[in-house]
Chain A
Amino acid sequence: MDIINALVAIANYVLIPGMAYGSQLALGALGVTLVYGILRFSNFAHGDMMAFGTTITILFTWWFQSMGLHFGVLPTALLALPFGIGGAILLALGTDRTVYRFYRRKKADPVILVIVSMGVMFIMNGIVRFIIGVNDQNFADGSRFIISAREWKEWTGLAEPLALKSTQALTVVVAILVVAALFWFLNRTRTGKSMRAFSDNEDLALLSGINPERVVAVTWIIVAALATVAGVLYGLDKSFKAFTYFQLLLPIFASAIVGGLGNPLGAIAGGFVIAFSEVTVTYAWKKVVTYLLPESMAPDGLVQLLSTDYKFAVSFGILIIVLLFKPTGLFKGQSV
């Protein structure tokens, strides 16, 4: 019984949150990795694009809620999501048109684009603060739990509770759907293949009649959609705060690099590696250990490897270890 309780505790505090967080990071990292692969720079404004898409989604959610429009047991935010994605796409394409395209035509070095993206980051950050402010915004509704701790205890009679928030399940399901669609697009459609070709060899893509502007536009559309989905899922799961999204940049970059920059499969793997390491290392294992060890050996402390404030240190540690042993990331990336 104690072993089952221990497993339930692991599932409740490590597995489920890790899966949800991993999905969010994976979606974020996919966006970063696509921009890296096709536009050839790391986009510092990615976190703020997530925040922008989420902001628009929140505004629509509030509007729908005020009209009494709901989505049954699912959060209203899902209804608003397409509008958020639309807003983010407009922003991304507008930014590309007014900012990035100029540098592309000048054949600017990627590092200049990185600095440009810093400027875009400032502006997007300002816009988000302007629209929605800096405070915590909660926009989740619908049914809160698929399995609540109380129901679980009644069903199973176990001492250890297990709760599955609907947002967590939703996160994983949506992430799987989005990733499947993306992979189908990249590997099976003409446009998707042309994006891969462009990433592989820009000049030859041009010589094959592939229109670079179109590839870039499609990339921004996908990236904006991914960013919004990731941002909304994160916001539903935790809560929305502009600054938090900016801070997600580090774990997202770390995920993309750990997986191998420019490699979509790697981005997903990297997201989960980072998420699970963060959750595992910062989880207080006292409960689990108490279940597994005889009573006399029960630990006094929290059995926490690192305090939660050090979750960045975990991302970073994993990153360094992977880079030391496999400089191109877990999956072969383009950063050689």
Chain B
Amino acid sequence: MTDNPYQQNRGNKDASITNPHGRGEIPFVESGKVVPAGTDGPFLIGDAMTGGYGRGPDILHSCTIAVNPGEIAVIVGPNGAGKSTAMKAIFGMLNVRSGSVRLAGEDITALSPQDRVVKGMGFVPQVRNIFPSMTVEENLEMGAFIRRDEIKSTMEQVYHLFPILKDKRNQAAGELSGGQRQQVAVGRALMTKPKVLMLDEPTAGVSPIVMDELFDRIIEVSRTGIPILMVEQNARQALEIADRGYVLVQGRNAHTGTGKELLADPEVRRSFLGG
């Protein structure tokens, strides 16, 4: 049961009148003003963010995450540390009560998620990150929805990055394997030509071989200059490729440093990496 009386469905799951398929959960927000914030800070930063879902308790406590072009920033931490929440806060899906989010010299804290997409932020959710009944190619097309220019070359780039998708371009994305779906998901986000790419556990539920492959591709994307921010469950592998690492514990920054520094930090090793 929720507090929202409009969401009280009394456990009804009558398929002849309601359609749970593909329902959205991102809360509706009206976009506020964008304020210039100076260009000296990092390209994208969630600065000292404190907040939670709706009117619920705070999950993040003065949490800071940042990333610059050409970098891969990785958020790791134990279960329930607020990793995905931090990512969502940067994307505007959370009620940030204090702190700010700045992108390319602008304070975008008050923007709605859809307006952040327009500002050039690409987001790949952890689950439900493809359009299952649409073909691979249509998925990519939808990724480029906000663009008015020619998208063919970007699509070729994506196909170049993920050759398997080219072979399956006319197949419904929902029929693909787990690893291939993740590729579609990342490909869709790349189609926006994002200024920053955010990945929420891109390797969740895929086999180790596929995981390595995906990490390779992510490094390749990063080399094109796109800043990448990602949340990862597989902390060790992720930190190995990370330029910046953030270890979160209970919604707070516990350790921050380059991937190598964190891997070398005895305390990080002991508490999160299993020795």
- Would A and B touch once assembled, by the CB under 8 A criterion? yes
Q: Are B28 and A114 in contact (CB under 8 A)?
A: no
Q: Are B18 and A111 in contact (CB under 8 A)?
A: yes
Q: Which of A34-42, A73-81, A136-144, A283-291 contacts B (4 or more CB under 8 A)?
A: A34-42
Name B15's closest neighbour in chain A (CB-CB).
Answer: A335
Find chain A residues with CB under 8 A from B17 CB.
41-42, 110-111, 114
Known A-B contacts A41-B17, A197-B134, A253-B16; the reply to A203 vs B26 at CB < 8 A is yes
Q: Are A201 and B27 in contact (CB under 8 A)?
A: no
| Docked CA distance A212–B145 (Å) | 13
Question: Which 8 pairs of residues, A with B, have the shortest CB-CB distance?
Answer: A202-B24, A209-B146, A335-B15, A110-B18, A108-B6, A109-B9, A334-B21, A42-B17
| Docked CA distance A114–B6 (Å) | 12
Interface digits, A188-223 against B, CB 8 Å rule (1 contact, 0 not)? Answer: 001001101111111111111111100000000000
Q: What is the distance, in angstroms, from A284's C-beta to the closest C-beta of chain B? A: 32
- Say yes or no for A183: interface residue by CB 8 A criterion: no
| Docked CA distance A112–B129 (Å) | 27
Q: Are B113 and A208 in contact (CB under 8 A)?
A: no
| Docked CA distance A198–B142 (Å) | 10
- Say yes or no for B192: interface residue by CB 8 A criterion: yes
Known A-B contacts A110-B20, A201-B131, A204-B130; the reply to A194 vs B12 at CB < 8 A is no
- Say yes or no for B79: interface residue by CB 8 A criterion: no
Find chain A residues with CB under 8 A from B145 CB.
190, 194, 197, 208-210
Name A256's closest neighbour in chain B (CB-CB).
Answer: B16
Known A-B contacts A107-B7, A200-B133, A206-B26; the reply to A41 vs B19 at CB < 8 A is yes
Interface digits, A266-291 against B, CB 8 Å rule (1 contact, 0 not)? Answer: 00000000000000000000000000
- Say yes or no for B188: interface residue by CB 8 A criterion: yes
Q: What is the distance, in angstroms, from B246's C-beta to the closest C-beta of chain A? A: 22
Considering only residues 123-159 of chain B, those with a C-beta below 8 Å from chain A are 123, 125, 128-134, 138, 141-143, 145-146
| Docked CA distance A109–B22 (Å) | 13
Find chain B residues with CB under 8 A from A108 CB.
4, 6-7
Q: What is the distance, in angstroms, from A186's C-beta to the closest C-beta of chain B? A: 11
Known A-B contacts A42-B16, A202-B22, A203-B125; the reply to A109 vs B132 at CB < 8 A is no
| Docked CA distance A62–B79 (Å) | 69
Find chain B residues with CB under 8 A from A42 CB.
16-18
Q: Are B142 and A210 in contact (CB under 8 A)?
A: yes
- Say yes or no for B118: interface residue by CB 8 A criterion: yes
Q: What is the distance, in angstroms, from A323's C-beta to the closest C-beta of chain B? A: 9
| Docked CA distance A105–B123 (Å) | 22
Find chain B residues with CB under 8 A from A201 CB.
22, 128, 130-132
Known A-B contacts A107-B25, A201-B128; the reply to A37 vs B19 at CB < 8 A is yes
- Say yes or no for A153: interface residue by CB 8 A criterion: no
Find chain B residues with CB under 8 A from A28 CB.
none
Q: Are A109 and B8 in contact (CB under 8 A)?
A: yes
Residues of A whose CB lies within 8 Å of any CB of B are 36-37, 40-42, 103-112, 114, 190, 193-194, 196-212, 253, 257, 261-262, 334-336
Find chain B residues with CB under 8 A from A198 CB.
22
Find chain B residues with CB under 8 A from A199 CB.
21-22
Q: What is the distance, in angstroms, from B124's C-beta to the closest C-beta of chain A? A: 8
Name A332's closest neighbour in chain B (CB-CB).
Answer: B133
Q: Are A262 and B21 in contact (CB under 8 A)?
A: yes
- Say yes or no for B98: interface residue by CB 8 A criterion: no
Find chain B residues with CB under 8 A from A40 CB.
18-23
Find chain A residues with CB under 8 A from B118 CB.
209
| Interface class of chain B by DSSP | loop
| Docked CA distance A37–B133 (Å) | 12
What are 20 A-B interface contacts by the 8 Å CB criterion?
Answer: A36-B19, A40-B20, A40-B21, A40-B22, A42-B17, A106-B28, A107-B7, A109-B18, A193-B142, A194-B142, A200-B131, A200-B132, A204-B125, A204-B129, A205-B131, A208-B143, A208-B192, A211-B114, A262-B19, A334-B22
Find chain A residues with CB under 8 A from B21 CB.
40, 199, 262, 334-336
Q: Are A261 and B6 in contact (CB under 8 A)?
A: no
Known A-B contacts A200-B132, A201-B131; the reply to A261 vs B138 at CB < 8 A is no
Find chain A residues with CB under 8 A from B24 CB.
107, 202-203, 205-206, 212
Considering only residues 1-46 of chain B, those with a C-beta below 8 Å from chain A are 4, 6-10, 12, 14-28
Q: Are B18 and A203 in contact (CB under 8 A)?
A: no
Find chain B residues with CB under 8 A from A205 CB.
24, 131, 142
| Docked CA distance A63–B69 (Å) | 67
Find chain B residues with CB under 8 A from A257 CB.
16
- Say yes or no for B219: interface residue by CB 8 A criterion: no
Name A40's closest neighbour in chain B (CB-CB).
Answer: B19
- Say yes or no for B249: interface residue by CB 8 A criterion: no
Find chain A residues with CB under 8 A from B114 CB.
206-207, 209, 211
Q: Are B192 and A204 in contact (CB under 8 A)?
A: no
Q: Are A207 and B15 in contact (CB under 8 A)?
A: no
Q: Are B131 and A196 in contact (CB under 8 A)?
A: yes
- Say yes or no for B204: interface residue by CB 8 A criterion: no
Q: What is the distance, in angstroms, from B129's C-beta to the closest C-beta of chain A? A: 6
Find chain A residues with CB under 8 A from B25 CB.
107, 203
